[in-house]
Amino acid sequence: MLNVEDYLSGQVLLIDKPLHWTSFQVVNKLRWEIRQAFKIKKIKVGHAGTLDPLATGLLVICTGKMTKEIDSFQAQIKEYIGTIVLGGTTPSFDLETEINETFPTSHITEALIKETTAQFTGEIQQYPPVFSAIKKDGKRLYEFARAGEEVEIKPRTVHISEFEITHIDGSNIDFRVVCSKGTYIRSLANDFGKALQSGGHLSALRRTKIGDFHVDHGVTVETFIKNIASE
């Protein structure tokens, strides 16, 4: 059982983020629950790496003095599983926006899909999605995108140590990726579709690991609320 001093001195909380929640909403909810449970006015709470609203999985949440370790957690290797749908692109590279272009897929074989993964391992150059929280000129990129404004995005170097195709069902490609900080799996889905002379977008994403932290050791927001109410 944790007490208020435990949370203030610093805890690392592993949360399995639900679909449609932003990472910021999870942090706000946990902060509010901790404050209510222990009748305190302030406590520092932050997360070590954003997940998109349409992604689920591991959020590493730090409280109190452990928030000083957020940068070191963010820098650790991450693992994701998900699904890429071939044959269509979306402006956001996932299902936040609707398909804007369709492409042929009849030429794509299972062998070609698996061979193409080799192009995306090691150090690669990647353009972040225009629908992302990266800041440019004081604004988030998604603010420009939603306003219909074009903005120049510079590529970044990221490292993908593993890119494994785990299942193929027609145009739906299940995968597992192990990658560095700053890697956008949505961009990987888009680039993978292009490399197959087609199109691609992300239809599902789940973060399973950050460093040695695994989502299997995490709890849902609902479970955290129940647990803290009983402390």
Chain centroid to Cα 63, Å, comes to 21
Is there a catalytic annotation at residue 6? Answer: no
Hey, is 116 helix, strand or coil? helix
Return mean pLDDT, the chain.
93
pLDDT tens digit sequence for 73-108:
999 999 999 999 999 999 999 999 999 999 999 999
CATH for 78-210, options being 3.30.2350.10, 1.10.1740.10, 3.40.50.150, 3.40.50.360 = 3.30.2350.10
Length of the chain, in residues: 231
Q: What is the pLDDT, as a whole number, of residue 46?
A: 97
- Half-sphere exposure of residue 176, counting CA atoms within 13 Å on the CB side? 7
Listed residue (219, 192, 174) closest to 87, CA to CA? 192
Q: What is the pLDDT, as a whole number, of residue 145?
A: 55
- How are beta strands 156-169 and 55-63 bridged, if at all? unpaired
Listed residue (203, 205, 187) closest to 85, CA to CA? 203
Q: What is the pLDDT, as a whole number, of residue 135?
A: 64
pLDDT tens digit sequence for 176-196:
999 999 999 999 999 999 999
Helices 23-38 and 221-229, axial angle in degrees (round to 10): 10
Domain boundaries, the chain: 4-75+212-229, 78-210
| Structure token digits, residue 59 | 């959020």
CATH for 4-75+212-229, options being 3.40.30.10, 2.60.120.10, 3.30.1050.10, 3.30.2350.10 = 3.30.2350.10
Q: How confident is the model at residue 229 (pLDDT cuts 50, 70, 90)?
A: confident
Q: What is the pLDDT, as a whole number, of residue 211?
A: 97
Among 16, 52, 94, 191, the active-site one is 52
